[in-house]
């Protein structure tokens, strides 16, 4: 039997990473909403449509900024500590958005801080992935693998249920579930009035 003393530490770290990721997604969502608000109000309040010579610039700029911010938020949602490449891509898109003016400068800096805060978790996640027992870190799972040599496989597959045919029921019914006629039912005795 191999050493399982690190299982508790690894499970705890994975739970901490999950909590940190949820907090980062929440903060990033708020920052994205703020950026969307500024993307819509900035062209209107500063009359940028006159600057670029088209009345539709504000609408186009705001719409593209909203879609761009939503794309970055989607990347952050899927950029768990185990997937640092998605985090790097979200950071690069944030920087690009700041350069071309789609992401507000101050909000973009806050978004980058949120991205950078995940780097220690990602380093720990790389270490956890190399540990024996990953991703379950469960002694019972290890025992099952030791005895049976594979993960649990159900006896019956649940795929293609919509194509399964229903079995026909026999006309006469099952002998286990027959109901006796009323005349064979025992009668309920009368209850004397003095008991009530």
Q: Indicate whether 172 pLDDT > 80.
A: no
Q: For residue 110, what are the CA distances in angstroms to 27, 60, 63, 94, 107? A: 9, 25, 22, 10, 5
Q: What is the 8-class DSSP label of residue 186?
A: P
pLDDT digits (tens, 9 = 90+) for 40-95: 766 555 555 445 555 566 667 778 888 898 999 999 999 988 888 998 999 999 99
pLDDT digits (tens, 9 = 90+) for 7-22: 677 778 888 889 999 9
Residues 6+ apart with CB under 8 A from 25: 73, 76, 77
In this prediction, residue 101 carries a pLDDT of 83
Q: Which residue has the higher pLDDT, 111 or 130?
A: 111
């Amino acid at each position: 039997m191999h050493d399982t003393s690190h299982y508790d530490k690894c499970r705890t770290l994975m739970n901490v990473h999950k909590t940190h990721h949820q907090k980062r997604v929440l903060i990033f969502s708020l920052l994205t909403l703020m950026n969307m608000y500024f993307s819509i109000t900035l062209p209107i309040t500063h009359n940028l449509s006159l600057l670029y010579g088209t009345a539709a610039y504000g609408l186009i700029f705001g719409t593209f900024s909203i879609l761009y911010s939503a794309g970055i938020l989607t990347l952050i949602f899927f950029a768990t500590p185990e997937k640092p490449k998605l985090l790097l891509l979200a950071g690069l898109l944030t920087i690009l958005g700041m350069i071309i003016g789609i992401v507000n400068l101050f909000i973009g800096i806050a978004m980058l801080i949120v991205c950078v805060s995940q780097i220690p978790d990602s380093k720990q996640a790389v270490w956890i992935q190399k540990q024996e027992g990953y991703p379950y870190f469960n002694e019972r799972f290890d025992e099952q693998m030791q005895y049976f040599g594979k993960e649990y496989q159900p006896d019956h597959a649940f795929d293609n249920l919509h194509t399964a045919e229903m079995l026909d029921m026999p006309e006469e019914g099952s002998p286990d579930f027959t109901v006796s006629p009323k005349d064979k039912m025992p009668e309920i005795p009368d209850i004397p009035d003095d008991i009530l």
